Amino acid sequence: MDGSARETWNARYRERGSDPGPPSDWLVENQALIGGTRALDLACGTGRNARHLAGLGFTVDALDISDVAIEALQGIAGVHARAVDLEREALPAGAYDVVLMINYLQRDLFAAAADALAAGGVLIAETVTRAHVEQLRRAFDPRFLLEPGELRDAFPDLHVLRFEEGVVQRSGRPRAVAALVAQRPAELAELAELAAQRPG
């Protein structure tokens, strides 16, 4: 993304205001499957999910391209918010017990999001599918619509704990989504750590 993308999102958040609203239904529904202490919220917006995770005791790195959204998270206990262009900045490997990708689709970030998980860490992801337009007749940029089965297949090195795809109620209205909870097996994380330590 470039400066114009940042300004576009800044304008949207100025219009929406700083009220984050309730956390993601998919996160709340699956919070019993997560543990540990460190979480990463990608494209966090004004922090509805980051705040929720902090309330559960996590230390949360909350990243978003919008300076306006990040300003709304300053001073929230347990939340470290930064304005970041996720198309340009790398994620730390093996650093997080939980990684969230909610209502955000950046396909070239899938591998990095999986690699950011520590051993046993859990990825929670949900965003809209092509059916959001084709079935529900909603307007949506086609670049950011998941194909059928795409999210389930996007993280081949993770163990799928839950997967759902279809029309669900979100914030009181129907949305066509794919939703995933997947875990990084401990043995794969250990192999990746050993590979990173090898010289050359």
Q: What is the pLDDT of residues 60-83, one digit of tens each?
A: 999 999 999 999 899 999 999 999
pLDDT at 45 over 80: yes
- Which of 84, 66, 13, 78 is closest to 39 using CA atoms? 78
Question: Among all chains, which residue has been given the structure tokens 């939340």?
Answer: 79
81-116 pLDDT per residue, tens: 999 999 999 999 999 999 999 999 999 999 999 999
Buried b or exposed e, range 162-193, using 16+ CB within 10 angstroms: eeebeeeebeeeebbbbbbbbbbeeebbeebe
167-179 pLDDT per residue, tens: 888 877 888 899 9
Please report the domains of the chain, with CATH numbers, ordered by start residue.
Answer: 3-197 (3.40.50.150)
pLDDT at 192 over 90: no
pLDDT of residue 9: 75
Read off the pTM: 0.85
Separation of alpha carbons 122 and 96, rounded Å: 9
CB 148 within 8 A of CB 123: no
Write out the DSSP string of 166-194.
EEEEETTEEEEEEEEEEE--HHHHHHHHH
Confidence tier at 14 by pLDDT (50, 70, 90): confident
CB 100 within 8 A of CB 125: yes
pLDDT at 194 over 90: no
Separation of alpha carbons 6 and 80, rounded Å: 19
Residues in the chain: 200
